[in-house]
Every structure is written in C-alpha cells, then in structure tokens.
Amino acid sequence: MSAISKAAASANRARPFYEEHDISKELKSMLEEEAKLLIGTRRRSTEDAFEEGERFERIATLLPEGTLEKWAVECCGYTARHVRTKRAVHRNLQAYKGILVALAVGPTVLGKMSAATPEQVEQIIGFASMHDRLRVQDVTAIMAGSTSDTDETPAVDPHDAGGLEGLKAIIAIKVRDGMKEFAAHVEEILTHVAEALEKKNIVKTKLEEQIVLTARLASHELRSLVEFVAPNEKAAYVIDPIRLPAGSRWAAVSALLYKISSDTTWPGKAELRTWLETEVVPTLTWATAKKPVPTDPDATIPDVAMPLAEAVVAEPSEALEPAASGARSIKDAVTSVAAAFGVDANVDVSIPKKLEEDTIPTVTEALAAPKKQFQRPTILNGITPAAPPAAAV
C-alpha cells in the first residue's frame, strides 16, 4: 500500500476521533497534513528520529490535552509506546543531537538511550566514539553497569576479586583502557606529524618537543600490553622483556616508537621529511587502524632496531655480556627459568584450541562494570548536560 493510500485509510479511521473531540475543519485539515507527513517519512536516520519526536511535540500543542497518543494510534497507526519513545528522544537527547547525528546512532538505539540519565548518555557517547557501531545491547550494558553502585548489594571491585576470574576481570580492564590510551597517544603523534608535513619547512626542534615524550609513553604502553618477561639467560636475577618476533610488523611499531622517543636517534634535517612520510606515518597509521589491516607480503619492514640498552631492566654485574639481539622463544625462556632452580622442564608451547572459558571478556562485558569515577568524553566538551529524562505526557 502506498503512502497516499495509507494516509487516506487513516483519515477514514480518524473521523470518530475528530467528531468525539469536536475538532474544527481548519484544525482537522492541519492534522491530516501532519498525519500524511508522519506516515510518509522513512525514519531510517538519526535526524529523522529527532524530527519525528519534534513533530509529535508540535502536534500535542494542537490537540486537546492528553489525546496525542490516541490521535497517533487512530490517525497514523502508531502504537502509544512509539509516540512516547520518539517524544523522549526529542526531549532528553536534544542537547546531544549534533554528536549523535555525527555518530549515526540508529533510531532503535536512540529509543533505548532516551531513558538514560545524562551521565549514562555521556558514557554511551564515549563508548560510541571509540567503536564503529553502537548496538542496543551495548547501551543496555552501560546503563545496567552505571547503576550498579546504587544497588542494595554493592558490586565487588574487580581488583578485590580473587581467583582466575578476578584476574581475568582486571586483565579485561587493562586491555580495554590500555588500548584506548595507547591509540590516543599514537593518534596525537600522527596529528603533530601531519601538521608539520603540511609546511614547506619542518621545524625539527618544535616537532621533537611535541612528540618525543608522547612517543616514549606510547612505547612503554605498547610493551606493557604485549610483552612477556623472563629471567636473563646469563643471570636469572635479571628480568628481561621477551621482545615481539623480530621482523614482525608490531615489532617495527615498537621499535619506531622507541626511536621517536629520543631526539638523538632522529635522522638529520635533510632526511627528516622522507622518514616521516615513508616510515612514521604509514607504520603508526597501520597500528591505529580501526579494523584489522592485512599485511602486504611484498611490503618491507622499516629497519628500526631497538637498542639493547632498553632491554635490560636490572643492571647485571660487569662480567656479564649484553643479551643477544632478537627475541627469545617462550620455550627457551621458560626452560631457562627452570634451569635456574635445577629443574629439567619439558615445555609444550603449542597453541591450544580456543576455549570459551579462557577468552578475555568483551568490551561490552567489561563496560558492564565500569569505573566508579566517570570521566566525561572529550567529544562532549562545550555541551551542557541535559536534565534527567522527562516522561512524555
């Protein structure tokens, strides 16, 4: 049935409503035009959801008080719940409309968000800004998690939960927050590099001041997220990090961040632009891609080896030789640990099949128990939080 046919059918169904409430011909004509627009709207975009809620609010001022939902049911074929939800979207999320439109949040998700408090809305927006798609279940998890502190039985702090499940929970927090912080710092470096490359002459000292310390922080963040540790082969009391596999892409990212973090390792002014364009930008862009990026088999790995001095955490005696370059295997590292205690280790390092109970919780699961101290997303700077959700009348 076409939109015109639907509007005509709705007009016939609405006749008893207009007669019951003594609606004038002029007002009836206006309401029928509004009904045609509502029935004909596709309502697939974020903008459409806000416009529909605004239209319902406007129609409510034309009708006798408390009759909007009945009019929408009889004249447009909507449910009363649909009308209440759209009005709530318009009333409670209007302050965030620009951001929600930019994030392309779907109408169904907006309906779920319309019942959230201002703090919950800002948590949801912060989550959406870091992900490609916001789902209803994500909103539900955030809303449920943010109210856990007010429950009669307070939630256990993950850092106080014992056992492997407790350990798994704080690992999930580490992965969730650590990845966000690492990505933010790398993107900050890329922003400064892009600004420098736009200029005809790159001021090396200025760029160093902008990104050296940030690169050093990002370098340690990446190592904290991905590297294991093991006793030194020469002396078990010296604990060394187990480097990422030599020649791998992530090893190149780690080494490049280390190189950027010291102005003494930067190339000269003549080679600076080429280095930034051919190594820094492509490598760090690859590292912060929102989706998995396949590695080109023909691509070359930048030669940015990690200095050995950074590999030793504790200073060994002078008689010890520096650790050999390149990453040791996990099997060798564990065997070395066992040997230090006089034990022969038979280590099986084959990759086990992925078990459901061994998986780290998803971001949505981790967000179900968020931090107690809410930090407002920077994307919301300059926006005044809306009042608590108001019920439609």
Domain boundary among 120, 149, 178: 149
Same domain, yes or no, for 205 and 86?
no
Q: Domain end: 149, 181, 210, which one? A: 149
Confidence tier at 223 by pLDDT (50, 70, 90) = very high
Pairwise CA distance, residues 214 & 276, whole Å:
16
Which of 161-170, 319-328, 336-345, 379-388 has the weakest average pLDDT? Answer: 319-328
168 in the same domain as 124: no
Same domain, 46 and 23: yes
Bigger pLDDT: 272 vs 63: 272
- Number of structural domains in the chain: 2
Determine the average pLDDT of the residues in 334-353.
53
Average pLDDT over residues 241-258: 93
Please indicate, yes or no, if residue 391 is contained in any of the structural domains: no
Q: Both 239 and 336 in a single domain? A: yes
CA angle at 370 for the pair 364 and 373, rounded to the nearest 5°: 155
Q: Are residues 337 and 250 in the same domain?
A: yes
Minimum mean pLDDT range among 104-118, 134-148, 247-261 = 134-148
Whether 372 is covered by a domain: the verdict is no
Q: Do 174 and 315 share a domain, yes or no?
A: yes
pLDDT, mean of residues 199-223 = 94
Which residue among 149, 184, 204 closes a domain? 149
Q: For 56-60, 149-153, 231-235, which range has the lowest pLDDT when averaged over its residues?
A: 149-153
Handedness of CA 104, 105, 106, 107 (dihedral sign): negative
Same domain, residue pair 303 and 343 = yes
Would you place residue 145 in the very low, low, confident or very high pLDDT band (cuts 50, 70, 90)? confident
In a domain, 86, yes or no: yes
* pLDDT at residue 7 in the model: 52
pLDDT tops 80 at residue 228: yes
Q: Which amino acid is at 78?
A: Y
Model confidence at 324, in pLDDT bands (50, 70, 90)?
very low
The confidence band for 43, taking pLDDT boundaries of 50, 70 and 90, is: low
**Residue 199 and residue 289 share a domain:** yes
Residues 166 and 145 in one domain: no
User: Considering only CA atoms, which of 64, 56, 65 is closest in space to residue 24?
Assistant: 64
Domain presence at residue 371: no
Nearest-10 crossing angle of helices 80-93, 46-62: 110
Residue 233 clears pLDDT 80, i.e. is over it? yes
pLDDT tier for residue 389 given thresholds of 50, 70 and 90 = low
- Mean pLDDT (the chain, rounded): 77
- pLDDT at residue number 194: 95
Indicate if 127 and 187 belong to the same structural domain.
Answer: no
Residue for token pair 């939080």: 385
What region, left, alpha or beta, does residue 43 occupy, with left being phi > 0 and alpha being psi -120 to 50 degrees? left
Residue 73 pLDDT exceeds 90: no
Mean pLDDT computed over 252-274: 94
Q: Tell me: do 190 and 317 sit in the same domain.
A: yes
Count Cα atoms within 13 angstroms, Cβ side, for 6.
Answer: 13
- SS3 call for 72: helix
Residue 131 — pLDDT band, cuts 50, 70, 90? confident
The whole-number average pLDDT for the span 202-223 is 95
Could you list the residue range(s) of the whole structural domain that residue 126 is in?
Answer: 3-149
Residue 371 has pLDDT above 70, yes or no: no
Kindly state whether residue 364 falls inside one of the protein's structural domains.
no
